[in-house]
């Protein structure tokens, strides 16, 4: 199945014949994941009684699931009787929006288990990621410098370090 639309809604997906329920889509047992097509699409992980456990997206379904690359693979293998169903999309640009609509509609229980990430964090922004990364790197550099200069007394106050890093960043 494929689609060429933007402005996805669940109704539009159903009308396009793409998905009223993932059990109507092509699927394979998890053990046969190497047979997935190498196409962009949305995938559904189906468990016992066709429960939708997880929904994801990839520019290549085969590449996403080949080998042991998927972060949920070992947990899913332990469940047994798991299937992968998919919707093929012609445009990679539609993946994010289609995935969001489907997750919102089906609310799979494993989609909330990723922790705070760009899709689950309402405060996410590229600036937030930059600050988190640069602060960690800067803190590590300051700490390493203190150790090299022998200035470490073992009681470094992290709040003072963070305050100085933030003030330095604001002054840039």
Q: What contacts 110, CB < 8 A, 6 or more positions away? A: 45, 53, 54, 72
For residue 22, the model assigns a pLDDT of: 86
Query: Mean pLDDT for the chain?
Result: 74
Selected residue with higher pLDDT from 89 and 157: 89
Q: Decide if 41 contacts 94 (C-beta within 8 A).
A: no
pLDDT band, residue 116 (cuts 50/70/90): very low
Collapsing DSSP states into helix, strand and coil, what is residue 129? helix
Nearest residue to 136 via CA among 100, 165, 103, 156: 165
Query: In percent, how much of the chain has pLDDT > 90?
Result: 23
pLDDT digit string, tens, across residues 42-100: 999 999 888 999 999 999 999 989 876 778 887 888 888 899 999 888 888 888 888 88
CATH architecture of 10-112: 3-Layer(aba) Sandwich (3.40)
Q: How many CA atoms lie within 13 A of 37 on its CB side?
A: 15
pLDDT digit string, tens, across residues 120-142: 444 444 555 555 555 656 666 66
E strand or H helix at 57: strand 52-58
């Amino acid at each position: 199945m494929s689609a060429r639309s933007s402005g996805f809604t669940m109704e539009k997906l159903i009308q396009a014949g793409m998905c009223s329920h993932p059990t109507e889509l092509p699927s394979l047992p998890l053990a046969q994941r190497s047979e997935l097509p190498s196409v962009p699409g949305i995938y559904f992980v189906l468990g016992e009684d066709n429960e939708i456990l997880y929904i994801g997206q990839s520019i290549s379904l085969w590449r996403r699931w080949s080998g042991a690359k998927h972060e949920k693979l070992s947990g899913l293998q332990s469940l047994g009787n798991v299937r992968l169903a998919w919707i093929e999309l012609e445009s990679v640009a539609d993946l994010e929006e289609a995935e969001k609509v489907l997750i919102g509609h089906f609310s799979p229980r494993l989609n909330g288990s990723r922790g705070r990430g760009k899709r689950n964090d309402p405060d996410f922004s590229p600036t937030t990621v930059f600050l988190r990364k640069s602060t960690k790197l800067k803190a590590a550099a300051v700490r390493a410098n203190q150790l090299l200069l022998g200035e470490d007394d073992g009681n470094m106050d992290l709040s003072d370090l963070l305050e100085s890093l933030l003030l330095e960043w604001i002054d840039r």
